[in-house]
Every structure is written in structure tokens, then in C-alpha cells.
């Protein structure tokens, strides 16, 4: 988009509802603004996609694809995927936009610029949760196609509270009907440094293994402290050459099991990789379990539970969708929770009946003070008996009053 466009957009109202407040980000084909949903009164992220600059003959097809893919991405509801609220085209400005959840934090690209070598537990947490978000898309039948550090958002101020995948809005539904394929759009979006070999080769029929390859690139960068390939090495990869991964000091500290998972994700042949992101997560979990470096979700605020791993697909409630959502990624080495307290049936209060008062329990003191009262009582009896002239003291008995005396 042209320089100065951001200033022109500030203060505009898109589709009569979304006020553009200030620019907060820029991508190769989009601008992101902080905005306000004037209907609901909440702040949102407004992403304006540069479709209107395309040639007139392809613009209708571009917009059809944009709307179809935005609708598919909006159906993914998962704690590791940024939420998409709305999308459309402003009729007056002819600008295409996506309305998303507004996040606070930084992306992984910025984090790695500040801290190229992260502690291994932190790196694994980020990689696992990023893969969870990608797996949610795969279960919903969508591949991302542009998995890179700039599209992995670390939400939170001081601590990483959550890892969120961005830009599912340019993702591609799996198994597109060839009769409805939009073949005039041109090249598929990707970033050269994080493109899979099949993307570099210009293959249009990508599968989930392309995302797995990109997760492998990010996994190596997180664990090794640098990108796996430079431009020259990417050229060799493009030519079909199997280029070994550099052995950085950080990479040499990675266990053989973890290294094998990443190397499998980076196989040149897509059929030799993990078939999808869920399989990649399972392999990472097994490797961490084997070497004792398991990622414990309960130990970090960014972790998602097993129930959260299953995506909720909006507007789908049939049995197939529910079964797909229930087949979530297993939680990796969870901390063991104490067993629940089970109350016998006869201890439970019936519904609608006020709870009875708890039975009072008296504690028996463990000091000599408890004997003072009986001794004083015996002393009084002895004095009374002596005054009666030395008669035998009567037996002292504790008698409970009968009901008539109450």
C-alpha cells in the first residue's frame, strides 16, 4: 500500500460500523489498525487487505476467494488462534477488511530479534502452542500456508500469557472443489525464508505437510538460535538437495529425540514428514517424555487444556463436527491433580432444601486443666459430708434429665 495511506485512514468509518483509530502494523499485502466497533463499543484490530489494487479482471475472483477464506477462518475458535469477528468490503471506499481480536504483546519475530536464543523450555512452550493453533486449522480443514515468526503472536505484557496464530484469513481450505478453484489469482502467499519446498516450486495443491515443514523451520530457529538456511542454502533446497542443519551450540544441546522430530518435519518429500500439525505435536510430546524434558502445560500461563485443544467450529453442531472437535491434541505431560472428593449419597442435601447445620465436634483438651472441675466437685462433696457428721459420701452419678424436665 502507498506511503501515507495510514494517515488517510485514521478517523474513517468502515461499513458504517468500524472506526479506524491508529495504525499498529503493516504486512506485505495489508495494514493493521486499532479500531473501534461502534455497535458493540469494544476495541478491535482492523486489517485492510490490498485487493483493490489488483487488475480489474481478477479483482472479482480475488474478493470471492477473500470472503470464502475469511469465512472459513472465522469458524476456527481456539485459544491458540486469534479470533476473527467480521469481514467485508466497504462500499464507499471499496476497501476489503477483516475485523479481529485486538491483542497486546509482540510477535515471535520481534521476540527473536531481542532474544535470539531462548531457554529451551520456553522455546518448546512456544512451539507446542503454535502447533496447537495450526492443528486447530487442520482439524477444521484449513491449511495456513504462511507459518512464520511474524504470524505467531505472544500475547501478554511481561509474561507470555498465550501464543496465538495470526493470518488464518489468507489460509486455504483443504480439498477445494476443482470446479470452484480460483486459478487466476496468481502465486500463493508465503514468505521465502519460511516457504516449503513445494511452495518454492510453485505447487498449487498444498497439503497440511507444508505447514508442518514451516513449523519445523520455526522449531529449529527456536531451539538452535538461528534460521536453518541462508539464501544460498535455500537455493540448494529448491534444487532438491538435502541440506544438513547447522550444528549451533544451542542445537547440540537438543536431545536426539527432539532433533529427530524437527528433522522429520523438514524432509524434502512431503510424504516423509509428519502428516499434519497434530502428528507433529504428538511426536514432540513423545520425544520430550523420552528424554525427561516434557512440557508441562500446568506450569505456564500460556498452556491450553485438552478441552481447549479441540476447536469449536461455529455454526456446526452435527455429530461429525462434534466428533472432530472432541478429537483434540493430547495434553503433554500434565501435572497430576489430586483425586476429587466423593461424598456418599446420604451426605448430600436434596435439591431445594437448605443445608443443615454442620454437626459440632468438640475437641478434648490435652492439658491438666480438664481435671480442675471434677476435683473441685469432689472437694465440695467431701466438705459437705464432713459437716453431716462423718457419714459415708454418696456415690456421684451423672444423670441426664428426662424429656419431661426439658
Specify binding-site residues for ATP: 47
- Find, among 230, 274, 278, the residue nearest to 80 by Cα: 278
> Does the annotation mark 158 as catalytic?
no
**197: which 3 cell numbers?**
519446498
Residues in the chain: 406
Q: Could you tell me if residue 254 is left (phi over 0), alpha (psi between -120 and 50 degrees) or otherwise beta?
A: beta
Q: For residue 386, give Cα distances in angstroms to 317, 372, 383, 396.
A: 92, 21, 5, 16
**179: which 3 cell numbers?**
470446479
**Coil, helix or strand at residue 122:** helix
- Find, among 254, 258, 297, the residue nearest to 80 by Cα: 297
> Cα-Cα-Cα-Cα dihedral of 62, 34, 110, 230, to 10°?
10
C-alpha–C-alpha distance, residues 126 and 146, integer Å: 17
Residue recorded with cell 509428519: 274
Show Cβ contacts of residue 356 under 8 Å, excluding neighbours closer than 6 positions. Answer: 349
DSSP state at residue 154 = E
Report whether 15 contacts 87 (CB < 8 A).
Answer: no
C-alpha–C-alpha distance, residues 406 and 403, integer Å: 5
Classify burial at 24, counting beta carbons within 10 Å of its beta carbon; exposed 0-12, middle 13-18, buried 19 or more.
Answer: middle
Report whether 215 contacts 192 (CB < 8 A).
Answer: no
List the catalytic residue out of 90, 146, 211, 309: 146
Active-site residue set = 146
Amino acid at each position: 500500500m502507498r506511503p501515507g495511506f495510514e494517515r488517510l485512514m485514521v478517523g474513517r468509518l468502515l461499513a458504517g460500523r468500524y472506526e479506524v483509530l491508529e495504525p499498529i502494523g503493516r504486512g506485505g499485502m495489508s495494514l493493521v489498525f486499532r479500531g473501534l466497533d461502534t455497535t458493540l463499543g469494544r476495541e478491535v484490530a482492523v486489517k485492510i487487505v490490498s485487493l483493490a489494487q489488483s487488475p480489474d479482471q481478477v479483482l472479482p475472483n480475488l474478493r470471492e476467494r477473500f470472503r470464502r477464506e475469511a469465512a472459513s477462518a472465522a469458524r476456527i475458535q481456539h485459544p491458540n488462534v486469534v479470533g476473527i469477528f467480521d469481514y467485508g468490503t466497504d462500499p464507499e471506499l471499496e476497501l476489503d477488511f477483516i475485523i479481529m481480536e485486538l491483542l497486546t504483546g509482540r510477535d515471535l519475530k520481534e521476540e527473536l530479534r531481542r532474544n535470539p536464543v531462548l531457554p529451551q523450555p520456553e522455546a518448546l512452550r512456544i512451539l507446542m502452542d503454535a502447533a496447537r493453533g495450526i492443528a486447530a486449522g487442520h482439524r477444521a480443514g484449513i491449511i495456513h500456508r504462511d507459518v512464520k515468526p511474524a504470524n505467531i503472536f505472544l500475547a501478554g505484557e511481561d509474561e507470555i500469557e498465550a501464543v496465538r496464530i495470526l493470518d488464518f484469513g489468507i489460509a486455504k481450505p483443504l480439498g477445494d472443489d476443482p470446479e470452484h478453484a480460483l486459478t487466476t489469482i496468481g502465486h500463493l502467499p508465503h514468505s521465502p525464508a519460511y516457504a516449503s519446498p513445494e511452495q518454492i516450486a510453485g505447487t498449487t495443491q498444498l497439503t497440511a505437510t507444508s505447514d508442518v515443514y514451516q513449523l519445523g523451520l520455526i522449531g529449529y530457529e527456536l531451539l538452535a538460535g538461528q534460521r536453518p538456511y541462508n539464501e544460498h542454502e535455500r537455493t540448494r533446497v529448491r534444487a532438491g538437495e538435502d541440506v544438513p542443519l547447522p550444528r549451533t551450540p544451542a542445537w547440540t544441546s537438543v536431545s536426539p529425540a527432539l532433533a529427530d522430530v524437527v528433522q522429520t518435519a523438514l524432509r524434502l518429500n512431503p510424504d516423509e514428514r509428519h502428516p499434519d500439525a497434530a502428528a507433529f505435536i504428538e511426536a514432540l510430546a513423545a520425544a520430550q517424555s523420552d528424554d525427561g524434558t516434557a512440557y508441562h502445560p500446568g506450569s505456564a500461563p500460556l498452556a491450553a487444556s485438552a478441552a481447549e485443544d479441540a476447536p469449536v467450529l461455529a455454526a456446526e453442531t452435527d455429530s461429525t463436527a462434534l466428533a472432530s472437535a472432541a478429537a483434540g491434541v493430547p495434553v503433554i505431560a500434565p501435572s497430576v491433580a489430586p483425586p476429587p472428593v466423593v461424598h456418599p449419597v446420604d451426605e448430600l442435601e436434596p435439591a431445594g432444601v437448605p443445608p443443615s447445620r454442620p454437626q459440632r465436634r468438640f475437641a478434648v483438651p490435652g492439658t491438666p486443666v480438664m481435671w480442675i472441675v471434677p476435683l473441685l466437685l469432689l472437694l465440695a462433696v467431701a466438705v459437705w459430708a464432713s459437716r453431716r457428721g462423718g457419714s459415708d459420701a454418696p456415690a456421684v452419678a451423672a444423670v441426664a434429665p428426662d424429656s419431661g424436665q426439658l
